[in-house]
Structure 1
Amino acid sequence: MGRLQDKVAIITGGAGGIGQGMATAFVKEGAKVVIVDLNEEAGQEAIKHLQQHQQESTFIQANLAEHDKLESIVEQVVDKYGKLDILVNNAHASKNKPFLETTQKDLDLSFDTGFYPTFYLMQAAIPHLQETKGKIINFASGAGIEGHANQAAYAAAKEAIRAITRVTANEFGKDGINVNLIAPIANSPGVQQWAKEQPEYYQDVLENIPLRRFGELEEDIGRAAVFLASDDSNYITGQTINVDGGSIKF
C-alpha cells in the first residue's frame, strides 16, 4: 500500500516539468492523478507514462486562464472518481522584466495563469475536500519571498498565492483540510535550457545553493509533495516548505 493509495489528485501543469515529476511520484504511491494542462500532446504523453503505474489516471486539456471553466474541472473529476482528496496548483506562466518595464499585460498573464486559477480551483475544490479531509498544495517562489530582480509580475502573483494559502489554512483547518506551499528550485527543462543559454549565470546560482545542485523533479520536489499530500503532514498547515537546497534561510 502506498502513502497515497486510492487518493484522487488534481495536478495543474502536470504535463511537464515539476508537475510531471509530482504526478509520477504520486502514482507510484498509489494515487489516481488527473493532469490538467494546456498542452494536449504533452498531456497525452504524460498520461501514458503515469498509466504504467496507475491505469485510472487521466488527462484534462484546459486553459486555466479561462476562469469561468475552472469549476467544471473539479466537477469532472468528482463525477468520474466520486471524490477529490488532493489539489495541487502548480501551473503558472509569466515574463521576467525589469520593474519599470513591467506592463499591465505582464501582470495579467501572471495573475491569470497563476493566482486566479489557484483561487478559483480552491473555491471549487474545498467543498469536496471538506468531505475527504483533503490536502491543498500551492506553489510559492523565492522570487516573491526574497524579491528577485526582474520578476515583479511573477513575484507579486506568488505572494498573493501565499496570502490566500494562509487564509484558507486558517478558515478550513477546523474541517481537517491542510493547505501548504512548496517553494522549489528544480532542474526543470526551463532551467536546463537556461544553463545552455547563460552558463555563467547558471553556475553562479548553483554555487549559491548550499547543497550545490538543483532539485530533481520527481525525487526531490515530487517526494516533498507526496509528504504534504499524505497523512504524514496532518499537523502541518499554512506553511511554506522551501524545497530549494537551503537557498532561503530564516
Structure 2
Amino acid sequence: MRQRYASSFGAAAAAYAAHRPDYAPAAVRWALEPAPGPRVLDLGAGTGKLTGTLVELGFDTVAVEPDSAMLAELRSTLPAVRALPGSAEEIPLPDASVDAVLAGNALHWFDMSIAGPEVARVLAPGGILAGLWNVMDDRVDWVAELARVSDSAAIGPRDTQSNWRDATKELHLPRADAGMGGAARFGSPEQEEFAHSQLRTADSLVATLATRAGVLVMPERERAAALGRIRAYLANRPETSSGEFTLPMLTGVLRTRRS
C-alpha cells in the first residue's frame, strides 16, 4: 500500500509543481541550525518545493528524486540545481558528502531499514537528518470542518502534534536505542512546528488537494465525489467563497544528528 501511494505522484507532477506549497523558511532554518556545513541533500525532492527554499536560503543543494516525471519538473523549475535520479534506499552520492539530509513531505515513504544506513553513509559526522511536513492548520474552525467533509483523505491527520510523534515511532526515526542502523548512528530526535500559509482560491485549493496521495489513488468516481464535496463546502464558507484567501498551515520538523 505504501508503494502504491508513494508512486502516485508522477501522474500529477505538473499539478503538484503548480499547486503544492513551499516550506516555511523558519522551519528550514531550524532544521539546519545544528548542521556542520552548508551542503544539503533534498531527498525525495519531488518537483523541488523544498529545494527551492533551500536555494533561496543560500545552501549548497543537491536534489535526489526517484520519479522521472517529478524530477523533470524539478529540473525545469530549478535548472541550476544538481538534480539526480535515485532514492532514499540507494542515494547516488559519495560517503560523507553532505552536511544535512532533508526530506519534505517524503520521509514517511522511505523504507527506513534500508534508507537509514544510506542516509548515515552520505552524512558527514555531526550531520543532520530532518523531515519536514506541511499540513493545514486544523485548529482553525473552517479547516477542521474541511477535514470532516473530505473524510480527511485530502487533509491528513487532524492532530498535528500527534502526527509528528507518530511519525517518530512509525518511521523508526533514529533514537538513542533503535532504528536507522543502530544506536551509534543518530541521537534522539527533536521536533518543532512553524506557522505557514499559502494564498489560494477555492479552485486552486481543490487543485492542491487533488494532488494528495489519498486522493490520487481513489477510483475516478470516488475521487470526483470527494472533490465535489470539497468544492461545495468551499463555495458555502464565507472565508473561502469569494476570491483569494489565506490558507493557514503548519510546517512541522523532526530533526536528529548523526553521531
Taking structure 2 as the reference length, the TM-score comes to 0.46
Q: TM-score, normalised by structure 1?
A: 0.47
Higher relative contact order (CA 8 A, sep 6+): 2
